[in-house]
Amino acid sequence: MSIGFEIITRDGAARAGRLATAHGTIATPCFMPIGTAGTVKAMTPDGVAASGARLILGNTYHLMLRPGAERVAALGGLHKFMNWPHAVLTDSGGFQVMSLAALRTISEDGVAFRSHIDGSRHVLTPERSIEIQRLLGSDITMSFDECTPFPAERSAVEASMELSMRWAERSRRTFIERDGHGIFGIVQGGAHADLRERSARRLVKIGFDGYAIGGLAIGEGQATTFAMTEATVPFLPADRPRYLMGVGKPGDLVGGVKRGVDMFDCVLPTRSGRTAQAFTRDGTLNLRNARHADDPAPLDPECRCPACTGFSRAYLHHLVKAGEILAAMLLTAHNLTYYADLMAAMREAIMAGRLAEFETPQ
Active site residue 265: yes
Q: Which residues pair with 9 in a beta bridge?
A: 16
Q: Which residues pair with 24 in a beta bridge?
A: 21
| Catalytic entry in 91, 252, 262, 341 | 91
| Catalytic entry in 11, 209, 265, 341 | 265
Per DSSP, 81 falls in state H
Other CB atoms within 10 Å distance of the CB of residue 120: 9
| Closest to 254 (Cα-Cα) out of 7, 11, 9 | 11
The phi and psi torsions of 39 (rounded to 5 degrees) equal -160, 140
Enumerate residues 6+ apart whose C-beta is below 8 A from 29. 14, 15, 16, 253, 256, 257, 261, 262, 263, 264, 343, 346, 347, 350
- Whether the Cβ atoms of residue 182 and residue 7 lie closer than 8 Å to each other: no
| Closest to 8 (Cα-Cα) out of 255, 355, 354, 352 | 352
Q: How far is it, in rounded angstroms, from Cα 46 to Cα 49?
A: 5
Per DSSP, 131 falls in state H
Q: How far is it, in rounded angstroms, from Cα 75 to Cα 263?
A: 29
- Whether the Cβ atoms of residue 141 and residue 134 lie closer than 8 Å to each other: yes
- Whether the Cβ atoms of residue 219 and residue 150 lie closer than 8 Å to each other: yes
Active site amino acids: 91, 265
